[in-house]
Amino acid sequence: MKISFLLHNAYGIGGTITTTFNLAQALAARHEVEIVSVLRHREEPNLTLDPRVALRPLVDLRREADDPRHHRPSRVFPRAEYRYRQYSELTDLRIGEHLAGTGADAVVGTRPGLNVHLALQAPRRVARIGQEHLTLDNHPPRLRHALRRAYGRLDTVTTVTEADAAAYRRKMRLPGVRVEALPNSVPDPVLPTADGTAKVVVAAGRLVPVKRYDLLVEAFAVVAAARPDWQLRIYGKGEEHDRLRRLITDLRLWNNVFLMGPATPMEAEWVKGSIGVAASSFEPFGMTIVEAMRCGLPVVSTDCPHGPREIIEDGVDGRLVPVGDRAALGAALLELVQDDERRGRSGRAALANARRFAPGPVVEQAERLLADAVAARRSGRRAAVRRASVRGAFAGRGFAARDAALSVAGTVRRRMRGAAS
């Protein structure tokens, strides 16, 4: 198969980029794979991509940020989507041109707005897979409304947890669309795993409010008071950096808590620790949790929706504590810090249990989903569903939305005919 991933910005950092790169690289062992990045803002990606995977951008912001078309709003990308202001008439045209001319058997969208583009603009011959890396309940009502209208034209919707897949089946009611959980995968470690003797707790991710690093720093004050020889190392960058630096100073934790900046790859940093930790108030999956466990670290995490509870077995390979509970988070960390035998046992269990997120089983499931979607498209089994969902996609919206999509599609077709002549 030829498989194409449609990604917001492959040149940034974040969990969706990481998991897309991981899956694309694993699929490239047996398939022709490309990643198409809608936006580009720098010369090289932050993450290293396997040379077998082609990468190309559609809009290069270094040269095209001032294009007048990029200052006119998108008419396809849903307004209620978080990234809406980064999309434009220019991205509408480039995405439409890409989809119209793609030679891929299957195209995989990687966020709600791109899934809408895929649903409305992909040719009939192309299998359409919409990935959801957040959760349905996290989407605002207006976005859920837009997705319900468009997603009926997809072949498959994948979520990263079983809980979210169940929510999609129950609330979205998409006849003929397969909804299945496909967890993120983490490559097999190449370094020796952690042995649990380092007096280091490791956290990683964007320094943004939802990750609650402030709560983690405050909770670690309990650990530092009891065991001042232990450190907390936080890897990542983001808007919370300066506030966290002030908090560390205010709590006099400058000898115990360190903001390490971003690190790629993180594996070399995980194996320097003995415990992983995540304090998020919301975590659709928990990529860093799996990364830590695959390196042999037990993980203490808040039991936030939806990911951690499907990854961590409380009391076996880590601990789950209530969201926002500083005292419980500090106590769970201190429990593992002070018990060498338990920490070692939990680390070995984490290593074993996290193997289900290795590329092998995840890629096998992804290949099956992709092959089924391609076969359904080629056999015409999706035709009736597609005709019904086209009618539903614009129900109650008058003709404006339909005409906008048709206008963009017509412009794309004219451009492609002109290029061919």
- Both 245 and 219 in one domain: the answer is yes
pLDDT band at 220 (very low <50, low <70, confident <90, very high): very high
Per-residue pLDDT at 265: 86
Q: Which of 339, 357, 375 is the last residue of a domain?
A: 357
- Both 387 and 412 in one domain: the answer is yes
Q: Which of 318, 337, 357 is the last residue of a domain?
A: 357
Which structural domain, as residue segments, surrounds residue 67? 2-185+360-420
pLDDT band at 400 (very low <50, low <70, confident <90, very high): very low
Q: Which residue has the tokens 């609650």?
A: 212
Q: pLDDT tens, 245-270?
A: 999 999 999 999 999 999 988 999 99
Q: Where are the alpha helices (DSSP H) in 354-399?
A: 359-379, 383-393
pLDDT at 416 over 60: no
What is residue 55's three-state secondary structure?
A: strand
- Both 372 and 352 in one domain: the answer is no
pLDDT at 69 over 90: yes
321's CB contacts (< 8 A; 6+ apart) are 300, 301, 302, 303, 328, 329, 331, 332
**Percent of all residues in the chain with a pLDDT value above 90, rounded to a whole number:** 83
CATH number at residue 390: 3.40.50.2000
- Both 176 and 227 in one domain: the answer is no
Whether 195 is covered by a domain: the verdict is no
Q: Number of structural domains, the chain?
A: 2
- Both 374 and 347 in one domain: the answer is no
- Both 219 and 345 in one domain: the answer is yes
How far is it, in rounded angstroms, from Cα 137 to Cα 336? Answer: 33
Per-residue pLDDT at 306: 85
Q: What distance lies between CA 38 and its chain's CA centroid?
A: 16
- Both 221 and 285 in one domain: the answer is yes
Whether 25 is covered by a domain: the verdict is yes
Whether 193 is covered by a domain: the verdict is no
pLDDT at 138 over 80: yes
Q: What distance lies between CA 409 and its chain's CA centroid?
A: 28
What single letter denotes the amino acid at residue 137? D
- Both 277 and 345 in one domain: the answer is yes
CB 47 within 8 A of CB 17: yes
- Both 352 and 370 in one domain: the answer is no
The overall longest dimension of the chain from CA atoms, in Å, is 75
pLDDT band at 187 (very low <50, low <70, confident <90, very high): confident
Q: Where are the beta strands (DSSP E) in 198-332?
A: 200-204, 231-235, 257-261, 275-278, 299-302, 318-321
Please, what is the average pLDDT of the chain? Answer: 91
- Both 135 and 211 in one domain: the answer is no
284's CB contacts (< 8 A; 6+ apart) are 133, 134, 135, 138, 160, 161, 164, 305, 306, 307
Whether 192 is covered by a domain: the verdict is no
- Both 240 and 373 in one domain: the answer is no
Whether 194 is covered by a domain: the verdict is no
Q: Which of 311, 327, 357 is the last residue of a domain?
A: 357
Q: What distance lies between CA 23 and its chain's CA centroid?
A: 11
pLDDT at 393 over 80: no
pLDDT at 395 over 50: no
Whether 406 is covered by a domain: the verdict is yes
Per-residue pLDDT at 115: 98
Q: pLDDT tens, 347-370?
A: 999 999 999 999 899 999 999 999
Q: pLDDT tens, 225-238?
A: 999 999 999 999 99
Per-residue pLDDT at 271: 97
Instruction: Report the predicted TM-score, pTM, of the whole model to 2 decimal places.
Output: 0.81
- Least confident stretch, 93-107, 278-292, 321-335, 371-385: 371-385
Whether 190 is covered by a domain: the verdict is no
Per-residue pLDDT at 397: 35
195's CB contacts (< 8 A; 6+ apart) are 296, 344
Phi–psi pair at 157, nearest 5 degrees: -120, 125
- Both 74 and 214 in one domain: the answer is no
What are 388's strand-pairing partners?
none
What is residue 45's three-state secondary structure?
A: coil
Q: Quick one: 357 exposed, middle or buried, by C-beta within 10 A (0-12, 13-18, 19+)?
A: buried
Whether 146 is covered by a domain: the verdict is yes
- Least confident stretch, 219-228, 257-266, 374-383, 395-404: 395-404
